[in-house]
Amino acid sequence: MTDQNKSAEKPWGGRFSEPTDAFVERFTASVGFDQRLYHHDITGSIAHATMLAEVGVLTADEKDQIIAGLDEVRAEIESGAFEWSVSLEDVHMNIEASLTRRIGITGKKLHTGRSRNDQVATDIRLYLRDEIDVIAEELTRLQAGLLDLAEREAETIMPGFTHLQTAQPVTFGHHLLAWYEMLVRDAERLRDCRKRVNVMPLGAAALAGTTYPIDRAMTARLLGFDRASENSLDSVSDRDFAIEFCGFAALLMTHLSRFSEELVLWTSAQFDFVDLPDRFCTGSSIMPQKKNPDVPELVRGKTGRVNGHLISLLTLMKGQPLAYNKDNQEDKEPLFDTVDTVKGCLKAYADMVPAIRARADNMRTAAKKGFSTATDLADYLVKQGVAFRDAHEIVGKAVAFGVAQKRDLSDMTLAELQQFSDVIGDDVFDVLTLEGSVQARDHLGGTAPKQVRAAIARARAGLGD
């Protein structure tokens, strides 16, 4: 066989006089990673063939042959018997070549009115749309688990922190609802992202559209897209939707990383606030006493991976002129890995969160340290007519006394407290208790158990919307 004939084996080989260099062939091929798009590629091809028959470009018999052949190819891929070829470059040409071997020249008609440029853009959107729906389900499952845990711990008192220093007492349920609110925003971003993913580029062809009488609205309906894209140049070159998804993923992972950081701290001997079941932890090869919170640590670590993929895609697109460029082949691996990483981390957390057990006694003991009810004493003084800045100074002196005596405000006698202000009465101890402090914050968004339960009820009513 001549070099010219070898080049002609490529679907685009007619213009070339020598075969692709063997290294270049491997270097430029994407089939090693884009083969995961096979289901969506075949789905898109079936819709395309159906539309071509409807507008008269294909006969009904040709359409039926193509669809039957594509179903056979899909079955072979799913059975594991399909042989992927690097020389055919990508998932699209591997499937088309297999189809043509099965049904002959009719298989070559499938690509009428489209290009790999709009084909791959469609495949990625179909793929990402399905993955978004899976991720949304896992996100909802994690949210539901958080609500269940928050309800169980609605009255469990723990220290709230600023600067990682004891600030004011809160309930563990209230703290968990802060995590929940982060996930609410993530879910909103994911739903919003899906709207822009669900736009069909098929029909844009290589960059300018096609001369065939295609019906893009019909194809969009067949594939479940909300609409077809408006501009052919943008259709084949746009990867905003992938970047937007990775932006969602980076924020979600940032939130999971913050959860993870707290769980790593809280499971340490120094805090000992919560216990994670053994099935979510590992031990040490040398220290037999160790129980390491590997799931939270690994999720925290994987956040950097996802953040990197976002930057990778932004950088990939920043210098590209219109329309399609080979650079865009580099969009898939970061996107695929982001999808896989997010799904794995969400599953791990959705499984783990309901199994978290609070060590309520340790939390309560910690909340009594660090003068966490100092602000409550200041508020008490203000309600007795003391100006806030004066109240702040009075309580500061009381705290300094407590530091010297190594005693909390609630452990002082009335006489000791009255040396700092004579407006302090017996009722001060109602606000200096941990329970009194959290119960007093009985308003929307507050830490009072009543408000925590009301927030859980509202959240459950809207979960998944």
| Domain boundaries for CATH 1.10.275.10 within the chain | 3-112
Residue indicated by tokens 């289901």: 39
Provide the pLDDT for residue 37: 98
Structure tokens at 306: 């996802």
Provide the pLDDT for residue 264: 97
Q: Does domain 365-457 have CATH number 1.20.810.10?
A: no
| Domain boundaries for CATH 1.20.200.10 within the chain | 120-206+231-364
Q: Are 180 and 147 in contact (CB under 8 A)?
A: yes
| Domain boundaries for CATH 1.10.40.30 within the chain | 365-457
d(CA 183, CA 139): 8
CATH numeric code, 120-206+231-364: 1.20.200.10
Q: Are 323 and 118 in contact (CB under 8 A)?
A: no
CA dihedral 427, 433, 436, 437 (to 10 degrees): 120
Q: Which residues of 97-129 are buried (b: 16+ CB within 10 A; e: fewer)?
A: bbbbebbeebbebbbebbbbbbbbbbbbbbbbb
d(CA 108, CA 94): 13
Which residues share a beta bridge with 160?
Answer: 168
- Predicted TM-score (pTM) of the model is 0.92
Provide the pLDDT for residue 284: 77
Provide the pLDDT for residue 6: 42
Provide the pLDDT for residue 11: 67
Q: Is the dihedral of CA 181, 173, 356, 289 positive or negative?
A: positive
CATH numeric code, 3-112: 1.10.275.10
Provide the pLDDT for residue 23: 81
pLDDT, tens digit only, all 465 positions of the chain: 333 344 446 665 666 667 777 888 888 899 999 999 999 999 999 999 999 999 999 999 999 999 999 999 999 999 999 999 999 999 999 999 999 999 999 999 999 999 999 999 999 999 999 999 999 999 999 999 999 999 999 999 999 999 999 999 999 999 999 999 999 999 999 999 999 999 999 999 999 999 999 999 999 999 999 999 999 999 999 999 999 999 999 999 999 999 999 999 999 999 999 999 999 888 878 887 888 999 999 999 999 999 999 999 999 999 999 999 999 999 999 999 999 999 999 999 999 999 999 999 999 999 998 889 899 999 999 999 999 999 999 999 999 999 999 998 989 999 999 999 999 999 999 889 999 999 999 999 999 999 999 999 999 999 977
Q: Are 48 and 202 in contact (CB under 8 A)?
A: yes
- Through-space distance between the first and last CA atoms of the chain, rounded to whole angstroms: 62
Q: Are 251 and 294 in contact (CB under 8 A)?
A: no
Active site members? 163, 284
Q: Which residues of 423-455 are buried (b: 16+ CB within 10 A; e: fewer)?
A: ebeeebeebbbbebbbbbbeeeebbbbebbeeb
